[in-house]
Structure 1
Amino acid sequence: MDMSALYQRRTAEFLKEIRPYAHYAFQGASMAAIVFFLLFSIAYRLFLQWVTPEFPWQPLCAAVLFLALASGRVRTYLQEADTLFLLPQERGMSIYLQTAMRRALLFQLAVTIAAWLLVWPLYGRMTQADGIVFVVLLAVLLLLKWALLNGKWTELQLQEPGTRRGFILLRWLFAALASYALMALKLPYGILTAGAGAILYLAVLRLPHKYTVHWTLLIEMERRHKASIYRLLNWFVDVPQVQGKARSIPLPGLLRRMIPFRQRSSYHYLYTLVWLRSELLGITVRLAVVGIILIVWIQNDWAAAIVYALFGLFAALQLSDLKRYYREHIWHRIYPIPEGMLKHSTGAVRFRIHLAILLLMAVPLCFSLPNPLWAAGLLLLGVAVSWLYHRFR
């Protein structure tokens, strides 16, 4: 069996599996990511103009590098059935696992390079370093990342859970020490300290007893990795693979009184409960909370208005998913309710929820903009667009 081809095939199958959800997640997050990048670039540029050598910039730079060096995953795509079909080829699994390590190393080296590019403007300004220092420190960081990723892989093969926890702590401590030494000490001493620590760390990795392939742990870690990706995608689109906990949220008394016990309010009641008891509740609430936090944090008038509009748009797009629930249900043809009432009621419920989100985000917007009337005008514009969208979409 070609183990390298098997790994490539499983990678392609996983990407094909998440592609539909990643497409919707990208649509929901792309504009927010662009806005965040622009705002962060402006804030970082202003920070570089303001910062002085008295500012504790060394711990800040070390913290960014520490996150890049200490983190990292190795995707193996191992499955439960592999303990039956691949276990007899355990000695030949080295090719499969080496392919996984190479893929993880390339990705993690890219993350390390990105972290160093982020830190360099501040480091270069504070130390007046030139391009040679940039290249030397980048090479050192890449070697450190290689050592730490080998440490991560060794942890996954250790036999004793207690030993594994100790080596995880050792990896974090070494990453923190190396990051701080490179940023706080003068160049030769920082490199020597980090290099000596790396040699000692790699030597310690050879001491504990290890499995050739720790099947149970690798399969469990792969299951967790896959679940974490689906949970991330579930922030933007309802993912069936995420088995959320069943929620029994009683309809609040105020909402119950607002929905008359009449035939024409049947779908209003149904879809309000659907929103309360599905993943849409968590998605819309998170969007509203993040939008409010960004509006409060941003000091620029135009940026706050753009964030308000974008998060209002994201909330509307997420609420549009409400119409897919019970759309093809057979009971719609049995209920003694006019058929056209379903679309009208679904749009009305979506509009009311969206209106509440727009009102909540408009509260901090009144304090962010110099004139509260501007916030009121933006709110009225958002309400009008929301009514049209949920009425005809």
Structure 2
Amino acid sequence: MDVNTLWKERASSFRNEAFRYLRLIGNSGFMFSLYALFLAGGYFYPSFIAWLPESFPVAFAFTIVFAYLLTRTPLRTFLKEGDVVFLLPLETKMHPFFQRSLIYSICVQFAAVAFLFLILGPLFQDRITDETSYFFLVFLFLFLSKWWNNAAKWVELRLQDQRERRFSTVGRFVINVIYLYFLFVAVSLPFTIVILIIKFVLYVLYYRRLLAHHPLKWTLLLEEESDRTARFYRFVQSFTDVPYMKAKVKRRRMLSALSDFFVWKRKNIYDVMFWKAFLRSGEYLGIYVRLLFVGSLVMYAFPSEWVRLAVALLFLYMTSVQLKTIRFHYDVLLWPDLYPVSPMDKKKAFVPFMQVLLLMQTCLFTVVYFIVGESLRLLFLLFILGLLFSWMYPSFRWQYGKEKMREV
């Protein structure tokens, strides 16, 4: 078996499937919201830089954000469950396969880092340094550090003890913070080069020794690959149906106990199921919190009162688009059909469920606007428009979804 050909086939298969889903996402209303947000951001970016107080620690913020991005190293190996049986005998010949996977992971992850750094480029040149040569040198140092972090992560996956892996990850984060401190805060190339040399010496003296004394942990590699694939499909699930999507459940005892206190008093079993899905399954709760946080941050960043109003409504719409798939969360399972309830009970539960979530976000965005905004008239307008949207959109979404299903 040619392992190089095997890697190309699996990478090509995933790429073709991902492009098909991304085309569907590109035609969705969610992408229109992102386009509108990028256009508004590009228009108000210079105003935002001028408005940002001089006392704001821009360099320190750069350090923390990019330290997180450098430390976070999700590796893609394109392994499948059957490989533990069929490829394990070829482990000694799998080096080119894993080497290609490592290079692929580095390129994809650094593309995200480079994209964010380009977006923040004007802020970097305005608050840190306006030297163009230093700007491009930062690109080089970020790339070298990303390569080092991925190589270290590959070694960490050979450690069986989870505590050792976490300790190593925390150590990498601390080293990255020190490294980026000299790169962004001190703007000192000599010290940055010294830290970079120390990182590579640490790899030779510590990580390579672990690499030689610990064999591959195929189960960890499969868990890592399964998690990366599941995250992609959970993102796609927000826009279209993914039939082979695997459900992932997190216990979240406190939130589940709080929900049980309220939802079990309802007569409709779907009330319980939808709230359990939101709190415990997939990424629904994470999507809800992230959109709320990012929307609040954008509202704080834009100086225009009308833009803050538009951003709040835009993120409210984005939340509704992302959470609409909870309606189909249990459709691929058999056991909900065993409940003695009618299909209308599902609508009676889904519409109020979505209304409550959107109303909660409307109230939170109103509080954020009250803190960062200045116009009481727009404050009340935001609350009224958000209230109307929260009340009307779930019913419209349900009816629209039924019509689309009839067309199919």
SS of the residue corresponding to residue 376 of structure 2 reads coil
In structure 1, the residue matched to 2:88 is 87
Please tell me whether residue 171 in structure 1 is matched to residue 177 in structure 2: no
Q: Distance in 2 between matches of 1:22 and 1:252?
A: 38
Q: 1:43 to 1:387 in 2, by over 3 A?
A: same
In structure 1, the residue matched to 2:347 is 347
Please tell me whether residue 242 in structure 1 is matched to residue 243 in structure 2: no
Tell me, yes or no, if the aligned pair for 2:296 and 2:365 is still in contact at 8 Å. yes
In structure 1, the residue matched to 2:153 is 152
In structure 1, the residue matched to 2:315 is 307
Q: Per-residue deviation at 1:48?
A: 1.9
Q: Which moved more, 1:25-34 or 1:146-155?
A: 25-34
Q: Distance in 1 between matches of 2:315 and 2:229?
A: 26
Deviations 1:337-389 (A, max 9, x none): 9xxxx555443433333333344344346564733366335533653454444
Q: Per-residue deviation at 1:391?
A: 4.6
Deviations 1:291-315 (A, max 9, x none): 6656666361222233334434544
The structure 1 residue matched to 2:328, chosen from 292, 309, 321, is 321
Q: Distance in 2 between matches of 1:146 and 1:323?
A: 41
In structure 2, the residue matched to 1:379 is 387
SS of the residue corresponding to residue 210 of structure 1 reads helix
Q: Which moved more, 1:56-65 or 1:5-14?
A: 5-14
In structure 2, the residue matched to 1:62 is 63
Q: Which moved more, 1:105-114 or 1:272-281?
A: 272-281
Tell me, yes or no, if the aligned pair for 2:84 and 2:218 is still in contact at 8 Å. no
How many corresponding residue pairs? Answer: 373
Tell me, yes or no, if the aligned pair for 2:70 and 2:176 is still in contact at 8 Å. yes
Tell me, yes or no, if the aligned pair for 1:231 and 1:242 is still in contact at 8 Å. no
In structure 1, the residue matched to 2:223 is 223
Q: 1:270 to 1:191 in 2, by over 3 A?
A: closer
Q: Per-residue deviation at 1:2?
A: 0.9
Matched letter for residue 222 of structure 2: E
Alignment of 1:3-14 (within 5 A): 3-13=3-13
Q: Per-residue deviation at 1:223?
A: 1.3
Deviations 1:285-336 (A, max 9, x none): 6666566656666361222233334434544x3354379489999879xx8x
Q: Distance in 1 between matches of 2:317 and 2:189?
A: 51
Instruction: Compute the TM-score of the two structures, normalised by the length of structure 1.
Output: 0.73
Matched letter for residue 347 of structure 2: G
Tell me, yes or no, if the aligned pair for 1:28 and 1:314 is still in contact at 8 Å. no
In structure 2, the residue matched to 1:390 is 398
Tell me, yes or no, if the aligned pair for 2:358 and 2:390 is still in contact at 8 Å. yes
In structure 2, the residue matched to 1:185 is 186
Q: Which moved more, 1:320-329 or 1:223-232?
A: 320-329
Bigger radius of gyration: 1
Matched letter for residue 376 of structure 2: P
* Cα RMSD for the two superposed structures: 4.4
In structure 2, the residue matched to 1:275 is 274
Matched letter for residue 126 of structure 1: R
Tell me, yes or no, if the aligned pair for 2:74 and 2:224 is still in contact at 8 Å. no
Tell me, yes or no, if the aligned pair for 1:76 and 1:218 is still in contact at 8 Å. no
In structure 1, the residue matched to 2:376 is 370
In structure 1, the residue matched to 2:303 is none
Structure 1: give runs of 5+ residues left out of the alignment: 260-268
Tell me, yes or no, if the aligned pair for 2:59 and 2:185 is still in contact at 8 Å. yes
SS of the residue corresponding to residue 390 of structure 1 reads helix
Report the identity percentage: 17
Q: Distance in 2 between matches of 1:65 and 1:242?
A: 31
Matched letter for residue 375 of structure 1: F
